């Protein structure tokens, strides 16, 4: 298969498995989305969804959040990885949103990436899930699978993002980003597939399942 044929096979396979993928994080506003995605770094979505209800009960807007101190936020999010840094970033980005953006989450990658604790991946997720603007945030699952499926060399997440954007139509990016993540979590995990085990890997890498012997 050519690289483009491999991409088309992946797209069709994932569309059958996950026709309507939904975001795993719980949020009711773009501000809650930014905070939730920030918290999800080195933390499971399940853990984030456990801590955010109390956090957002106390402060669900930038103005309210900036009035909490880091210690209060840290106490709520302490079970998340890198909690001290995240508490500081949440206070900092809330202040910037109030003072520079009128309390609203900006809708450009450049402005989002200026917020404390918000890198390119987080900003891309907000563009997709908050504004419906196509982007292709690459997490560890997408980076791993793109390399296993020989869609990218996997040298860096930046290169992987660039390669995937070239292979897949922009109209598919919003769904496909989630589809690959869910497949990576459920079928093609870091330890559960060596690049030949799961269905997509076995077909793309030419290792077909052995047929059972007939009696």
Catalytic sites, residue numbers: 121, 139
Give the DSSP letter string of 31-80: HHHHHHHHHTTTS-HHHHHHHHHHHHHH--SHHHHHTS-HHHHHHHHTTS
**What are the b/e assignments for 186-201, b being 16+ CB within 10 Å?**
ebbeeeebebeebebb
Per DSSP, the three-state class of 103 is: coil
The CA distance from 35 to 49, in Å, is 11
The structure tokens listed for 29 are 């506003």
The CA distance from 34 to 16, in Å, is 30
The CA distance from 151 to 4, in Å, is 8
Three-state DSSP string of 25-36: CCCCCHHHHHHH
């Amino acid at each position: 298969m050519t690289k483009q044929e491999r991409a088309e096979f992946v797209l069709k396979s994932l569309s059958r498995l996950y026709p309507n993928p939904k975001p795993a994080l719980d949020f009711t506003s773009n501000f809650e989305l930014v905070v939730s995605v920030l918290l999800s770094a080195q933390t499971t979505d399940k853990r984030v969804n456990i801590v955010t209800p109390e956090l957002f009960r106390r402060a669900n807007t930038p103005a309210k959040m900036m009035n909490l101190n880091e210690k209060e936020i840290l106490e709520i999010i302490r079970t998340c990885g890198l909690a001290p840094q995240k508490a500081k970033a949440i206070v900092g980005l809330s202040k910037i949103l109030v003072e520079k953006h009128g309390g609203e989450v900006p809708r450009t990658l450049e402005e989002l990436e200026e917020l404390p604790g918000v890198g390119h991946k987080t900003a891309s997720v907000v563009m997709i899930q908050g504004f419906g603007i196509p982007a292709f945030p690459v997490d560890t699952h997408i980076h791993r699978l793109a390399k296993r499926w020989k869609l990218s060399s996997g040298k860096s997440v930046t290169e992987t993002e660039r390669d995937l954007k070239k292979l897949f139509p922009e109209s598919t990016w919003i769904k496909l980003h989630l589809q690959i993540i869910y497949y990576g979590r459920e079928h093609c995990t870091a330890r559960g597939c060596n690049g030949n085990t799961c269905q997509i890997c076995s077909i793309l890498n030419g290792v077909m399942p052995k047929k059972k012997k007939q009696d």
